[in-house]
Structure 1
Amino acid sequence: MGLSTGEDSSKQEGLEDLKSNLEMYLDHLNEAKVQIQSSADQTEAALESAMAAVLQQVSAALDERKAQLMKEVADVKNTALKQAESCSRLAQEHLQRTEELLGSLQSGDSLEAKQMTAEAIEELASQLPAPSSLPRPALQLPSSGAVLAAVRQLGRVESTVTVAGYEDDCDPSEGDGSYRLQYCYGDANKQTSPVFHTAYEGPETSTLVRRLQCDVIYSFRVSRQVSAGGAWGGWSPPVTGATTLPHYEWSPSPAYSITDSGRIACRTGDGGDTYTGGDSVIYSAGAQLRPGAALRVAVVEAGSGCSDEGLALLDGRPDQGEDGALIGKGALFVSATGEVYVNGRRRQMRLPPLQAGSYLTFSTERRDQQTTRVCLETGDKQVVYDWKTESTDLWLAASFNELGWKLMLE
């Protein structure tokens, strides 16, 4: 029986559209599988190459260090043997004179005419160092556990999502176009009318989307404008992704009111408009800044700002109540007036002062087992410090005596 009504015709068109969409989805899915395999192959090759290079560098560094230590062993040995040889000559001389005196006594000669008496020889002999006191080479090495732990933490594999515009075949290097990235909550492919929000619009082909919730699925899509003022191209198919990293947040403090799931701290004091006592320091909820990550502090509202107020990274959380600990050992402190202190020592480079609307970004990378490279960026100025730290993950702290400061973590 054929289709004879408008309703049946509409159903047929809908099914045909659905069929086309499903076929297109399967095509895109096959392309994604090829891209996943290609990315995996490239990543494996890069990993092999990187590890081979690291192994070669480590081997060369070990050989160099071994040669240096062997030279130090030889230096200690030669110095000790020279001291032993000198002592041996003196002991031989004292032995010879002692034997001469002993021979004189046995032959009945008088010792008074001898230039050196037995007492004098005994006195000189007593000044010779004990053989056990001569230096000997010894080796001190760090525990293999610490070295192996650093090796086991070398590198990190990340799961990344690439959002590509299927309807845009233009070369990104051509023209002066822009990109628009949007996201929505959940899987847009399973929603009837997903609500998208614009996360970025501009010329860059990559961007960092902030303020995403941990373990929550988001959908992303992108469109391209080939030339300024021109029409925007079609949207790419939505791609889903999620972050497994918890967002930065403040720990509760009686001197600050906390809002926005812990992201915003306002210096009020016990939730009121005045605060006259207690600790003016607030800490992050933990050692949340990891190597390779960035933490941006947005100054939403600001006071006048003093040199003893500001933000700090901490190599371990100090005891509460010690405001001065933020400008001491184990702390990298940026004052509200722009001074930078590393382990209590003021550095020459200054940053712009903290004020409403400004941002201070902390980014870190681990240089070796004992050194963290910290990059501070605010406005158009950037400074970098190599900081000796015991911990790889760092705390954030803020100290403001004046009421009204409002800080947001991103």
Structure 2
Amino acid sequence: MNLKGGWRMSVEVDLLLQEAKESIEAAQNYRSELQQRLHGLNQARKQIRGSSGQARETLQRHFAVLQAGATRLLNERLAALLAEVDAIEANSVKPLDDCQSLIENGVGQADELLREGEAALRCGLGEKEDKLGSFTKKAMHIQLDSLPEVPALVDVPCVSAQLDDSLLGLLRERVSRHGSVSSHPPVQIEELQERPGGILVRWCKVDEDFAAADYRLQYRRSGSGGSQYEDSYIGRDCEFLVLHLDPHTEYLFRVCARGEGRSEWSPWSVSQTGYTTLAPHEWCPGTEGYILSSRRNIALRSDSSNSLFPVLYSNTATYFCGQTLTFKISAAGQMDQRDSLGVCVDSGREAESLQRDQAVCISTNGAVFVNGKEMTNQLPAITVGSAVTFDMEVVNLFPSSNNHLSEGGNFKLRVTIGSGNREVVFDWLVDQAVDSLFFGCSFAHSGWKVLVY
């Protein structure tokens, strides 16, 4: 074999080895995918059989309760009707018993009188006059012509029971429509989005014939040590942000619905598992003039007597582009044009408001400021119950000649601020690229209370 032939054979062997390795890798991937699908099938079969078993237990338990209840009600009604018969019988027989006692007493007197009369007739002549006189006086005293009245049969009760045979038909008709079995719950969770310290849950109807009046969302911690489900939301909306969740912890969510004009809830949806990796938004503690809640997500402007007008910032830069930052006002004080709610690049500036460079904010009167300059567009004034939202996305970057971000406004963010039913959209130039932003608030007067999430 020449050198050229040997090289060609070596190349062919290498190609065969490469193809074999690729085939082995493809077979491994194929087997892994099939195993995952088998696991999915097993989970589906487990859900079908598990839910079917639960449905059987629910039906059996419910109808056992109904049967026991129906038997109890029928027995109670039977006992009540029998008691009515007993009362009628007792009240009707008593006058007859009284009359019978009177007649029997009269029969006894008549027997005794007969015996005395017969004895008077049989006595001798010496005693006959006295005996007959005594007998005659006794007979007149008894009043033999006075007889008690006995009621006719038509005048005494004739007890009967009236029963409506339609009850069984009505019961049959109601029982035939009582309860239902469905293969799918009428509502299912369609999306779980992680948010700082929480999860946004969205759901939808999967049964278009089901007219939902209210939805009910529940959640619990996942795992063997998980707690019981607890209500998180009841209302007409099809989404809800569940807050106060621990990061990197799995939670189970489920939802059901209540039909129009109904009091009972539908079956629960299939539980969905979700978790958040984002730390919750928190205000920075220790700022004079502000009191924070235990979770540090609620701030109250408590003292405005001091001449200082501090800005309360977030504990860290926890707001990232692509998220929605929300400020919810739960209490309000007196308005001031220096009031502000918004986001900023840093929290180290000594300023009385966020109406400054490298910050965007909205004042309580609805004015919007970008890098300290007021925009012509204005939003509704902020009052109790107002929710102000900030949404940001990176528009573009202007790289310098050395392929690094240059200084001087080379980082542009598109900002959307919403309040009430209105919003403003604008581009915000910042000095440098930032991965995350701080948020903050400042109020000139006490009484303002704001929740951030």
Deviation (angstroms), 1:200: 5.0
1:323 match: 352
CA RMSD of aligned residues (A): 3.5
Gaps of 5+ in 1: 1-22, 31-157
2:321 match: 291
Identity of aligned pairs, percent?
Answer: 24
Q: Tell me which of 255, 267, 281 is aligned to 1:248.
A: 281
1:122 match: none
Deviation (angstroms), 1:187: 2.4
The letter of the residue matching 2:367 is: E
Q: Tell me which of 215, 236, 261 is aligned to 1:180.
A: 215
1:221 match: 254
**Consecutive aligned runs of 4 or more in structure 1 exceeding 6 Å deviation:** 158-165
CA distance in 2: counterparts of 1:318 and 1:228, whole angstroms: 57
1:109 match: none
CA gap of 1:225–1:306, structure 2 versus 1, over 3 A, is same
Q: Tell me which of 259, 274, 292 is aligned to 1:258.
A: 292
CA distance in 1: counterparts of 2:342 and 2:46, whole angstroms: 51
CA deviation digits over 1:283-321, x for unaligned, max 9?
A: 0112111011011111111112111112121122242x3
Deviation (angstroms), 1:26: 5.1
1:353 match: 381
1:128 match: none
Matches within 5 A, 1:268-307: 268-269=302-303, 275-307=305-337
Are the equivalent residues in 2 in contact too, given 1:181–1:220 (CA < 8 A)? no
1:387 match: 428
Gaps of 5+ in 2: 1-41, 50-192, 398-410
CA distance in 2: counterparts of 1:258 and 1:207, whole angstroms: 24
CA distance in 1: counterparts of 2:220 and 2:335, whole angstroms: 39
Are the equivalent residues in 2 in contact too, given 1:184–1:218 (CA < 8 A)? yes
CA deviation digits over 1:72-123, x for unaligned, max 9?
A: xxxxxxxxxxxxxxxxxxxxxxxxxxxxxxxxxxxxxxxxxxxxxxxxxxxx
Are the equivalent residues in 1 in contact too, given 2:194–2:277 (CA < 8 A)? no
Deviation (angstroms), 1:172: 4.7
CA gap of 1:182–1:344, structure 2 versus 1, over 3 A, is same
Deviation (angstroms), 1:277: 3.7
Matches within 5 A, 1:4-403: 27-28=46-47, 171-174=206-209, 176-177=211-212, 180-187=215-222, 194-202=228-236, 204=238, 206-225=239-258, 229=262, 232-252=265-285, 253-269=287-303, 275-319=305-349, 321-324=350-353, 326-369=354-397, 370-389=411-430, 390=432, 391-403=434-446
CA distance in 2: counterparts of 1:348 and 1:163, whole angstroms: 36
SS at match of 1:28: helix
Deviation (angstroms), 1:367: 1.6
**Range with greater deviation from structure 2 (340-349 or 179-188):** 179-188
| TM-score for the superposition, normalised by structure 1 | 0.54
SS at match of 2:378: coil
- Looking at secondary structure, tell me which structure has more strand per residue: 2
| TM-score for the superposition, normalised by structure 2 | 0.49
Are the equivalent residues in 2 in contact too, given 1:220–1:240 (CA < 8 A)? yes
Larger gyration radius, structure 1 or structure 2: 2
SS at match of 2:46: helix
CA gap of 1:214–1:409, structure 2 versus 1, over 3 A, is same
SS at match of 2:377: coil
1:63 match: none
**Range with greater deviation from structure 2 (179-188 or 305-314):** 179-188
